[in-house]
Amino acid sequence: MTAAPQAARRRERAAAPAPQVPTSPRRKRPMRARLREDYPLLLMCLPVVILLAVFMYAPMLGNVIAWMDYSPYVGILGSDFVGWWNFQRVVADPRFWHAVQNTLIITGFQLVFFFPVPIAMAILLNSVLTKRVRTAIQSIVYLPHFFSWVIVVSIFQQILGGAGLVNQFLRSRGLEAVEIMTNPDTFLLLITSQQVWKDAGWGMIVFLAALSTVDRSQYEAAAVDGAGAWRRIWHVTLPALRPVIILLLILRLGDALTVGFEQLILQRDAVGAGAAEVLDTFVYYSGIVYGDWSYAAAAGLIKGTVSLILVLGANKIAHVFGEAGVYQR
Amino acid sequence: MTTTVPRTSARVSEAGGSAARGPGHRRRHPDRPPYEAEPGPVAKTAKTTALTVIVLAVLVPLWTVVVTSLSTQAAINDAGGLVLVPGELTVKAYTDIIRGGVVTRAVGVSVLVTAVGTALSLAVAILTAYGLSRPGSLGHRPILFMLLITMFFGAGMIPTYLVVAGLGLIDSLWALILPTAVSAFNILIMRNFFMNIDRGILDSARIDGASEWRILGQMVLPLSKAVIAVVGLFYGVAYWNAFFNAVLYINDSAKWPLQLVLRSYVLQGQAVPGTTFDPSSLDGGQTAGLAIQMAVVVLAMVPVLIVYPFVQKHFSSGVMIGAIKG
């Protein structure tokens, strides 16, 4: 994978400045001629521009209610500006910081206990020699990614819940039943294992693609030098995966404030806000459920802004380390 | 690679010789690279066990859900819950669901939203991806930038809700489609694919007087079946699986999609508001309902299971490489 997209990127980069360099006559052509030539392309982009304007950019402007005392009865035009009042309330609210704390704990925990799983699985699967077996396993483990969170949580509840398969087994052995689905203390473990079940297989796809491009002669050279299977993984496989690992790490860090919203909101009732309240659920409950619109918008805006800074920062760090990073056109 | 042949072939015969010595040993795998030693029995067992556990961890839960949905009440009572080993089988849960009407209505809503949504999103994605695919075309940079921004900065739930409500889309199925119709990620996958199509062919068609629409329809699309299948699957699965949009925008439970009904039945253990069909209060109490609950889970999985095999083969092709890059 590393080679292919890099080649693609190089091609793209080579293609992007093309209008300036070799076809510079194009540049000089009058606007009207360019418009006549390119208007079908612009027309094709019209639907997306309209959809983005209405459902992305209008709401972005709608964030102005974070500086208002918004009431749905009088609308945006009738509501008063209140300056930074809502932001001050958010920052002074211990429930907000509790949600931040939960979010960061979940992100950190999953970084350690989810992130490496697809890498390990990809290396394991890559060592399977028979192609048919490999493809069959791949098709099976990708599958849960395509099930909804409602299905995944339902299945987990039926297996680990009070009347579930595991407790059935424990009771039949005369052991005490364990309550996993509603226990706040083990919630972190529960949601991480749900994520592993749903997405670890799919997460492999990137790493498998990267592994398929590793030059075999490197392994051979390492083997000739006396490196065993484990040392070949350490000195050849992992370095080959490094760019992908860093790229995904950046994406994850940029998303540090976003943790499985649907997954958590489905289980918040069962386990309680103490363990399951994250920033997104906090915004949902304060705004839509309790109707404090401006307050929730302010909290959401803080989250969005910090996330943006995180992505840009993480990307910057990647560039410093000489990696491609997420975006560079 | 060719220069190393003599050395490696020596190693092959050596390794092959050692493998041939033990009569109990399996034949050396034809694809095993020559430099790699045949793994020992411990390593082999460990690897097989790990892979088996992974595969079973995916399949066993799905298996018990399907079996339970097809089990009689007696079989479920015997098992005390989910059924692992099929006993007496019946399709009663499914016929009950059809008679109950609530689930079939929800399936109808989900199918409608998924079909219309996927068609719309795919059309928008194809047009946008092609419209942005020619380097240097007029105005493509600002539009691309407008699209990219949405990947890094979301507008937020509250203002989006207010806009959707302001447009009068509450309780309209369009609220389940339009706000999520554009996925910058999917469009970029597609654009990346289009940009890797040989520009020479397209340019010569353009010189021959073919319009952009014709180039897109008759040249680009036939070459792009793989990426359209994959992006179509992504959109389709997203529409089919979406549940939170419906929580936000659909108050009328008669318009609930299947995922929301599923949440009601299985996770909250209650009937859909305004209906009397309640799996957990059916004759026999909790357990009779279990087959129905699991049947609803199966219904929610079936479309994915049907489409998945056809699209899955494209995952390993070049399509996903664009996806990784985003």
What mean pLDDT do residues B307-312 have?
Answer: 85
Does some domain include residue A215? Answer: yes
DSSP codes joined into one string, B282-319: STTTHHHHHHHHHHHHHHHHHHHHHHHHHHHTTTTSTH
pLDDT at position A35 over 90: no
Distances (CA, A) of A288 to B161, B178, B230: 9, 20, 35
What one-character DSSP code corresponds to residue B267? I
Question: ipTM of the assembly?
Answer: 0.83
Q: Which of A194-198, A210-214, A265-269 has the highest mean pLDDT?
A: A194-198
CA distances to A27, A110, A118, B86 from A122, rounded to whole Å, are 47, 18, 6, 34
Could you report the per-residue pLDDT of B166-193, keeping only the tens digit for each? 999 999 999 999 999 999 989 998 998 8
> Measured between CB atoms, which of B50, B143, B154 is closest to A49?
B143
**What is the arithmetic mean of pLDDT over A82-86?**
90
Q: How far is Cα B174 from Cα A322, in angstroms, rounded to an integer?
A: 45
Classify residue B195 by burial, with Cβ atoms within 10 Å: 0-12, 13-18, 19+: buried
- Domain annotation covers residue A148: yes
Q: How far apart are CA B264 and CA A4, in angstroms?
A: 46
A102 within a domain of the structure (yes/no):
yes
Q: Which pair of tokens denotes residue B38?
A: 């045949």
Residue A146 lies inside a defined structural domain of this protein: yes
DSSP secondary structure letter of residue A255: T
The alpha carbon of residue B21 is apart from the nearest alpha carbon of chain A, in Å, by 22
What does pTM read for this prediction?
Answer: 0.84
Which residue reads 């930038």 in tokens?
B145
For residue A62, is it within any domain?
Answer: no
> Considering the domain boundaries, does residue A100 fall inside one?
yes
CB-CB under 8 Å, A4 with B321: yes
Rounded to whole angstroms, the Cα distance separating B178 from B158 reads 16
Interval A113-150: pLDDT, tens:
999 999 999 999 988 888 889 889 998 999 999 999 99
Q: Please, which pLDDT band fits residue A84 given cuts at 50, 70 and 90?
A: very high
Mutate to test the interface with B, among A154, A233, A301 (most CBs of B within 10 A): A154
- Interface mutation target, options A56, A190, A233, A309, chain B, most CBs of B under 10 Å: A56
With tokens 């459920």, the residue in question is A289
- Beta strands (DSSP E) in chain A are 68-69, 80-81
DSSP secondary structure string for all residues of A85-146:
HHHHHHHT-HHHHHHHHHHHHHHHHHHHHTTHHHHHHHHHHHT---HHHHHHHHHHHHGGGG
Distance CA B135, CA B137 (A): 6
Q: How far is B99 from chain A (nearest CA, A)?
A: 23
Number of domains in chain A: 1
* CATH at A305: 1.10.3720.10
Q: Is residue A149 part of a domain?
A: yes
Residue of A1, A42, A304 lying closest to B156 (CB–CB): A304
> How far does chain A reach from its first CA to its final CA, in angstroms?
18
pLDDT at A77 over 70: yes
Containing domain of residue A110, as a range? 88-320
Count of other CB atoms within 10 angstroms of residue A152: 22
Task: State the pLDDT at residue A193.
Answer: 93
Residue for token pair 């009732």: A269
User: Quick check: B54 and B30 in contact, CB under 8 A?
Assistant: no
Instruction: Confirm whether A7 is domain-assigned.
Output: no
Percent of chain A beyond pLDDT 70? Answer: 89
Best-predicted range by mean pLDDT among A21-35, B2-16, B41-55, B285-299?
B41-55
Under an 8 A CB cutoff, do A155 and B297 touch?
yes
Q: The tokens 């290396």 sit on which residue? A: A123
CA A71/CA A87 separation, integer angstroms: 17
A288 and B158 Cβ atoms separated by less than 8 Å: yes
Asked if pLDDT for residue B283 goes beyond 80, the answer is: no
Q: Cα(B284)–Cα(A59) distance, rounded to whole angstroms?
A: 49
Q: Strand A80-81 and strand A68-69: pairing?
A: antiparallel
B64-79 pLDDT, tens digit per residue, is: 999 999 988 888 888 7
The answer to whether the Cβ–Cβ distance between A59 and B155 falls below 8 Å is yes
What are the φ/ψ torsions at residue B95 (nearest 5 degrees)? -65, -35
B306 interfaces chain A, CB cutoff of 8 Å: no
**Region of poorest pLDDT, from A77-86, A158-167, A320-329, B258-267:** A320-329
Which residues, numbered 39 to 68 in chain B, qualify as contacts with chain A under a Cβ-Cβ cut-off of 8 Å?
39, 43, 47, 50-51, 54-55, 57-59, 61-62, 64-65, 68
